[in-house]
Amino acid sequence: MIVDVLIAGAGGAGYPAAFRLNKAGLKVAMADPKGELGGNCLYQGCVPSKTMRELAHLYLRARKLLGFNEVVSFEKVQDHKDFVQETRFKQHKQELSETSVDFYKGEVEIIDNHHAIIKGEKDAQIEYKYLILASGSGPFVPRFPGSEYCITSDDLYKYKTSIRKLPKEMVIIGGGYIALETASIMNVLGTKVHVLVRSDRVLRGLDTRLVSSLLSMLDKNIDIKFNSPVIEVQKVGENEYKVIYSEKSEKKEITADLVMLATGRKPVYPKGIEKLGLAIGRSGVMVDETIVSSVKNVYAPGDVNGRSMFFHSAVRQSLVAAHNILAGTPIDYMDFESVPKSIFTIPSIAYVGILPEEAKRRGIEIVEASYPLIKDSRAQMYDEAEGEIRLFVERGSLRVIGGWIIGIDAPTMINEIGTVVANGLTARQMADYADQHPMSNESISYAARSIF
């Protein structure tokens, strides 16, 4: 079959471009071995983990505010998670049926710059003008003795997971956002969680002040051990594992019924990718802001380029790629800097734009505007009145270049600050806005007004 565009992967980086290009009249083929749209995010990533997180938060609130004291049914939590995933699979099927995109359940293998095979139930030969590599990412699994006994987040969150009994004791290896989010969720649901962090800090690369605030707010029942690299995992019983790690050069151990590796994610490349002769860097396929790779008919949005591994970022990158393919010349550009990011711990944090450490590195002088959530009415309603909203404002222009929210509704509210950052608005414009009362957003305007 001859197509204008072949898309490898039907996640956030794949299907938005497929729909856009198809709507504009191009012939599009898209393939994914899952046979579903939504990628790893929906199948085993953000949607299921955040569903579990919301239920855990609800349970915590009911316990704290209403005296609810029943033990949570983990099976019920997992059933609801599966239900949400099914709902979205169906929704995407409907959306796909409204297009004329040729969707294949199968894996793309590259033959050369204009040819590929889709390996599936029936192999299909495809000739394409443009290729969108949207094959995403998967967990990075380090090898050490007994690493085969560890699950990854994919196993816990995947659709119809077999992990349906709440572990009593769980070890999570890693110090990134997946480790901390999973620790928070499982801790609230009733598991004793230990987190083994190799170095002396979590969330490497993130502004240290923000990280310290988050750590100080996490439930003290979560046992985070710093400078504690894992040495070995032994299976000592039916569902029992001994995790041996070193702490201050001493060998120590924890026995747990579930051990999860959360040691980062790495790009997934289709077979035969080397035939394209693409430049591949340390984090993935190299792309510029137009999302084109070093080969001019190959675009690589989303996790596969490793620049901003978030579903919502992938969606926008996918559209940028589609617009540039349609125009045949660069007309659209990805704004990587204004992508909001959240750590969905309980409580959560969210941030966007340039934070103080980065501003200092770039020599940008900032003024900080802030508001403590202890004064926020909605935070008081939930008795979650800790944390803050903080805006980073360029001295002189008063342009808001970044911000963070620590505490209630952070991942929802960060989008308002993101819109301000992306559009170059000023703290004055934010201060003039009548944010909704009594919602936590009103504290965003209060934060902006703090410097006037």
Binding site for ligand ADP (CB under 6 A): 8-14, 31-34, 39-41, 107-108, 134-137, 268, 270, 302-304, 311, 314
CA nearest to 378, candidates 446, 434, 437: 437
Tell the residue number behind the tokens 């404002």, with chain if given. 393
Nearer to ligand ADP, 14 or 418 (CB): 14
Three-state DSSP class for residue 185: helix
Nearer to ligand ADP, 28 or 413 (CB): 28
Question: Going by DSSP bridges, is the β-strand pair 366-372/349-353 parallel, antiparallel, or unpaired?
Answer: unpaired
User: CA-CA distance, 225 to 196, in Å (whole number)?
Assistant: 5
Smallest separation, CB 136 to ligand ADP (Å): 2
Nearer to ligand ADP, 138 or 146 (CB): 138
Q: Is the dihedral of CA 84, 87, 91, 97 positive or negative?
A: positive
User: CA-CA distance, 134 to 149, in Å (whole number)?
Assistant: 30
Alpha helix positions (H), 98-222? 153-157, 177-189, 208-217
Smallest separation, CB 30 to ligand ADP (Å): 8
User: CA-CA distance, 441 to 414, in Å (whole number)?
Assistant: 9
Smallest separation, CB 123 to ligand ADP (Å): 13
Smallest separation, CB 149 to ligand ADP (Å): 25
Smallest separation, CB 423 to ligand ADP (Å): 25
Nearer to ligand ADP, 15 or 241 (CB): 15
Nearer to ligand ADP, 120 or 190 (CB): 120
Nearer to ligand ADP, 258 or 285 (CB): 285
Smallest separation, CB 34 to ligand ADP (Å): 5
User: CA-CA distance, 298 to 283, in Å (whole number)?
Assistant: 18
Smallest separation, CB 56 to ligand ADP (Å): 23
- How many CB atoms are located within 10 Å of the residue 179 CB? 25
Longest dimension (CA), the chain: 66
Nearer to ligand ADP, 265 or 390 (CB): 265
418-423 own/partner pairs: CB under 8 Å, 24+ apart: 418/338, 418/339, 418/340, 418/352, 418/353, 421/337, 421/338, 421/352, 421/353, 422/335, 422/338
Smallest separation, CB 178 to ligand ADP (Å): 13
Nearer to ligand ADP, 158 or 378 (CB): 158
